[in-house]
Structure 1
């Protein structure tokens, strides 16, 4: 079973690489504004998780970059996710605005949030 998961994960990553979406083209000033708006975001994820790939593809389509935190292989990120969000479930978007932190777990909700904020 572990081999099947590993193999399927590699297939997902390969297909994501081959069919990678194109990002939005913005002026340098507009892209800088997007980057500043995204500074309070961090995505807790597993590299080969299909739902995490879905969120990363949405990030690429919106040309928004923020920190990706590996909750599978990094014990610090894993413990932050469990302590802050309450459970180890990915993808999870950590949104920090004006000193308040919100944790968003569902990939469809995260994609909708990114489209609303950065489209």
Structure 2
């Protein structure tokens, strides 16, 4: 497939090259880092309030200081589905002091 020339598109090209199975659902993990636990918890509560089912919503200390938020969702791994959740996380992170720290999916 042809993917946009951006970070997500680059990951998808590498996944395709490694024969990732795009035909079935996988748990995709999205990460953000915050200066304080209060900020991380604030964004986590926004996801808890969603009507969407997430596999995991967890905050924990970040190795380099601050707090990390992990949002995990089982879904078909498409460029659009990853972009959509990443953009939602970015919107919510922008409300406090934080930054996106990537996403990932395990190839089975």
TM-score (norm 1): 0.31
TM-score (norm 2): 0.33
